[in-house]
Amino acid sequence: MNEMTAVADRRASAAEDMALRQALHRFVTGRMRDGVEGEDIVQETYVRLYDYRRKRHIADAGAFCFAVARNLVHDHFRRLRALPPAAELAEDIACPQPRADEVLDYRQRVDILVRALKAMPPLRREIFMRRRLDGVPGAVVAADLDMTQAAVDKHCTRALADLRHALERRGLPAGGRA
């Protein structure tokens, strides 16, 4: 008889748990008006119930669950009020990333310019790179290479002309995108 009583008690307990879960679900979804969010809150309620039961005895699990669920619903709406309003996204917002054709154009230009730099006389390339790419003042470059400022400027002018000519030979404008 003990075994039958235990089975009957487990069935009654399972039926009570099912009834409590359904009542909680109705309670939460009635306040939330969102079944998915409501189910999440019901599940969180049960997680808190089981965690709490490990530490203390709960005399009325139903009252405990409804109190927890009510607080979770309030917390949910409190968080929603704290969020800034969602901005409407326009369809014509430009992506900050460059388009694929821009990237290809850039890579093609870099390749052409690197080859043109390699083809320059070594002194012209060194002066141009120090002056224009490294940002070293012309007077410093002139002093380092024991040249006049005018000679450094002339090498830079010729280097720029070489680079422009390399781009134009490929049909690309020297100033920017094609």
Mean pLDDT of 98-123: 89
- For residue 149, the model assigns a pLDDT of 93
- For residue 65, the model assigns a pLDDT of 84
At residue 39 the predicted structure's pLDDT band, cuts being 50, 70 and 90, is confident
Residue 177 pLDDT > 70: no
Instruction: Using alpha carbons, select from 79, 47, 38, 78 the residue that is nearest to residue 65.
Output: 47
**More confident: 28 or 3:** 28
At residue 178 the predicted structure's pLDDT band, cuts being 50, 70 and 90, is very low
- Report yes or no: 167 and 112 within 8 Å, Cβ to Cβ: yes
Q: Is the pTM of this model over 0.75?
A: no
**Residue 32 CA: distances (Å) to CA of 5, 40, 75:** 40, 11, 12
